[in-house]
Amino acid sequence: MTTATLTFTRVQPDDEAAIRTWFDLRQEVQDHDLPDEPAIGWALHAGMLRHPWPGSENQAYLVHRDGALVGWLGLGLPLTENTGTATVDVQVAPVYRQQGIGRAMLSEAIRQARSLGRDRLVLEVTGAAGEAFAAAYGGRRALADTQRRLHLTTELDAQLDDLLADAVAHADGYTLLHWTGATPDEHLSGVAALESRMTTDAPMDDLQWDQEVFDADRMRARDAVMLARLNRAYTTAVRHDASGEVVGTTMLTVADGVDDAAGQWQTIVAPAHRGHRLGMLLKIANLRFLQQHEPAVTRVDTWNADSNAPMLRVNVAMGFRPVRQWAEWELTL
């Protein structure tokens, strides 16, 4: 397909060369725009097409102009919930910017989304230029979140130990559970119930997003994707001793080939069990668990909505510091 002078070529999951070209361009853009970010990781990158999350599809297009690679366009298509929405990633090679290419790419994304029956786009942007780009198409800023980073140093250890001891003192009647990789069968239903709360309990501000509902089968499928993408996952859960129920969970991941960086994924505690500092307990205990297995990790990144005051209190107390501001923008088609 061609838009103006641009040609869009869809990257197929079995086309190793095209996926490599896409990977190299992604890394070039990241090195230019976000030089302090960890490397992308080949297995994680290729897995976006080869191993999408359950209930979703990803599409990627290499964008050329007169034979020169000028950017890439990504579409994320929810298939279970939020089926009227497409997420969009527009990336222009640094040397080709300020030439109208990004605008033409977004126009193509709008055309594609409409052809797929989608009536809303969601773009994640950072910086004034990204926000101006989304606003120029009539988008609205729906959710503000901040990326924060924790640098793991020996000086931090005493601070974390004190916080952990305090959390343990307030968590009488609860037991920590740890595992690597896939969720154990005996905890699938409990973790699935908590995972289903991530799109209702965590603040979404004005972002329109239907609840993502997990059951044991969907959890198994999610874990299988993690394994296929060679993502090493470290999970800590908390069990309520009186009921035997898993009432909180958190996860850290390390991408294959990016051994010095970890990503903080969801942390959630069931509403009836909040107020016992279980969030702090989970996050620090899981960090210690990760460090036992991943001694090369020197930093952890997390993202939180600016309106998520309870989790921000935990992260700030642990020593996470802001890296950059992000925002989700919605475009109604």
Domain at 214, CATH number: 3.40.630.30
- The per-residue pLDDT for 181 is 97
Q: Which domain holds residue 55?
A: 2-118
* Residues paired with residue 77 on neighbouring β-strands, in sequence order: 57
- The per-residue pLDDT for 5 is 87
Instruction: Extract the tokens encoding 327.
Output: 């925002």
Same domain, 218 and 317: yes
57: in domain = yes
152: in domain = yes
Same domain, 297 and 163: yes
- The per-residue pLDDT for 204 is 86
Same domain, 110 and 258: no
142: in domain = no
Rounded to whole angstroms, how far apart are CA atoms 120 and 85? 5
- The per-residue pLDDT for 203 is 83
Same domain, 185 and 231: yes
Helices (H), ranges, 57-211 = 101-115, 127-136, 154-169, 188-195, 198-201
Same domain, 95 and 155: no
Same domain, 165 and 264: yes
Rounded to whole angstroms, how far apart are CA atoms 185 and 165? 30
- pLDDT per position in the chain (333 positions), as tens? 555 589 999 999 999 999 999 999 999 999 999 999 999 999 999 999 999 999 999 999 999 999 999 999 999 999 999 999 999 999 999 999 999 999 999 999 999 999 999 999 999 999 899 999 999 989 999 999 999 999 999 899 999 999 999 999 999 999 999 999 999 999 999 999 999 999 888 888 889 899 999 999 999 999 999 999 999 999 999 999 999 999 999 999 999 999 999 999 999 999 999 999 999 999 999 999 999 999 999 999 999 999 999 999 999 999 999 999 999 999 999
302: in domain = yes
Same domain, 60 and 177: no
331: in domain = no
Same domain, 312 and 177: yes
78: in domain = yes
Same domain, 112 and 160: no
Whole-model pTM?
Answer: 0.94
136: in domain = no
139: in domain = no
Residue with tokens 């869809």: 10
- The per-residue pLDDT for 2 is 54
Same domain, 152 and 100: no
Provide the domain count of the chain: 2
- The per-residue pLDDT for 1 is 57
Same domain, 168 and 315: yes
User: Using H for helix, E for strand and C for coil, what is the string for 237-306?
Assistant: EEEECCCCCEEEEEEEEECCCCCCEEEEEEEEECHHHCCCCHHHHHHHHHHHHHHHHCCCCCEEEEEEEC
Same domain, 193 and 321: yes
